[in-house]
Amino acid sequence: MYTGLKDNIRFLYRMFNDFKSSGYDVVVVGKAYDDNLQAYTRNDVEKNMIRYNGLTVWIVSGFSDIEGFEKKKNYMKSVDESFILEAVRRMK
């Protein structure tokens, strides 16, 4: 059950870690209702769009913390933390 959502969470988890290891100060990564992939960063970045695994990711900068993101996430649906942890735990 929810296999597609778990696959999406695992993909986003890998993307978050890959962006962090590439020097982006990422706060949140996500997939919006319109299926756009987005990465929210603390610091300003030179590019507002990059390619990741053949997909376009929009970079949104200027988020100092998770609370700043939560005020503007009206187009993303949250997923229960325990569900996310279960999906990520099974990656290892």
pLDDT in tens, 23-43: 888 888 888 777 788 888 887
Residue 21's pLDDT is what? 93
Distance from C-alpha of 14 to C-alpha of 9, rounded to nearest angstrom:
9
Question: Number of structural domains, the chain?
Answer: 1
Beta strands in 1-92 (DSSP E): 26-31, 37-41, 49-52, 55-61
Residues 71-86 pLDDT 10s: 665 556 677 888 888 8
Find the domain containing 16 and state its range.
3-89
pLDDT at 71: 66
| Stated length of the chain | 92
Strand partners, 40: 28, 60
Tens of pLDDT, residues 37-70: 888 888 788 888 999 999 999 888 877 666 666 6
